[in-house]
Amino acid sequence: MKKILFAAVIALTTAFSVNAQQYKVITSVESIVPNGLGRSRIINALEDKDYKEFTSVQTEDDNTRNKSKRNEIRVKNFEETKLLNFYNVGGIRFQNIAANDAMITSMINDMIANGWELAFVVSGVESEGGKGDGQGIFITRYIFKK
């Protein structure tokens, strides 16, 4: 009896560990454009793409390239959640940052409630490049797995 129970536990453990993990990336883009002129959003793609369909191998001897059409790569089905910009006419707006934190926390909690686990967070900044640039974003990618 103990052997049968042990075998059943091993079989169940193996069945659960064989399942491949699934990942999902959600991106927040927060504007750091002065005077509140930028746009800030949480972006969630609602369709999948296979990167292999848009990948080509380049060699020294190969002058021809597999040019994928950009329209085929674009994701047309996505959620867009509004966020507030970091700046307004008066400068940096801390209320806006707190509001964005609340929105992002809500999104993370919803993902976790739906069985996802926050695995990684990666962020970067493209800030103003000097006089007259006036451009900039703060981008964060939230990588979930289940």
Which pTM does this prediction carry?
Answer: 0.75
pLDDT band at 132 (very low <50, low <70, confident <90, very high): low
Q: Where are the domains of the chain?
A: 21-145
**pLDDT tier, 8 (very low <50, low <70, confident <90, very high otherwise):** low
Average pLDDT over residues 40-57: 91
Q: What is the pLDDT of residues 54-103, one digit of tens each?
A: 888 888 765 555 455 777 888 889 999 999 988 887 888 899 999 999 99
Cα separation of 118 and 110, whole Å?
11
CB atoms within 10 A of CB 124: 9
